[in-house]
Amino acid sequence: MIVPGPSSSIEAAAVAARQPERIIVMAQFHAPSTPRNAILSGDCVSLMRDLERHSVDFILTDPPYITRYRGRDGRTVANDDNARWLKPAVRQMHRVLKPGGFMVSFYGWNKVDLFVDAWREAGFRIVGHLVFRKRYASSARFLRYEHEQAYLLAKGDVTLPEKPIADVIDFPYTGNRLHPTQKPVEALTPLVETFSKPGDLVLDPFCGSGSTLVAARDLGRNFLGLELSREHHRTASERLADAGRAAA
């Protein structure tokens, strides 16, 4: 909540004189809060620091792969050229996730050592691996790259899902129309359905064009997206607004 301030320095001095203790308390303390059904713009590490501890039920995210990605159309991904953000972001994800919660994180296969080190250092356990099967090749060098991959991670003691899903999931082509590495909602939907319940809060700290958020909302979950790029934040916001109008 934003508290409106006085309109002039004279008024500010008068308010401070009348309520000095209240002014000091408001200046020194910021109570964490976790919004629902929102998309926040900014650096995810800073934004997650403002979220309540143990306030998120499930995390599904597609962070930069740290591979200096450049699409056929020349588009790139912010912070895909360095790993400085990785451990701070993973620590915050572990902090906000409830004990007994799951996280599914995509990763760059040739930087798997960096991701695994960050996950384990933060306190996550690796409990599964997922392959997303494409009907096309993203690129071709030593091999034709026809899949994406993600790890299933757990925080503390977790309950096994009632209906475990297969560890190979089809990955329809999105055309990357909304984001240079856009993930299809169809591939994310079974993950949200399996590792969260209706009414739960699903977090995506690198929400891009909002595919995770659409899957969460379609399944009756609350969602929270964080996005550094103003362009992608606008795309995700418009996409969720359009989905809301269609549902209404």
β-pairing verdict for 97-106 and 56-61: parallel
Distance between CA atoms of 8 and 190, rounded to whole angstroms?
A: 54
Q: Give per-residue pLDDT as tens, 127-182.
A: 999 999 998 888 888 999 999 999 999 999 999 999 999 999 998 887 667 666 67
Helix and strand totals (H; E) in the chain:
8, 8
More confident residue, 63 or 22: 63
Query: Between these two residues, 66 and 19, which has the higher pLDDT value?
Result: 66
Would you state the structure tokens that stand for residue 213, as one six-digit string? Answer: 């958020």
Q: CA-to-CA distance for 44 and 25, rounded, in angstroms?
A: 26
Report pLDDT for 177.
74
Cα separation, 158 vs 58, whole angstroms: 12
Alpha-carbon span 201 to 198, nearest angstrom: 9
Mean pLDDT of 31-50: 93
Does the pLDDT of residue 28 top 70, yes or no? Answer: no
Highest mean pLDDT of the ranges 21-25, 73-77, 167-171: 167-171
pLDDT (0 to 100) of residue 242: 80
Task: Quickly list DSSP for 63-84.
Answer: ---SS--B-TTS-B-TTTT--T
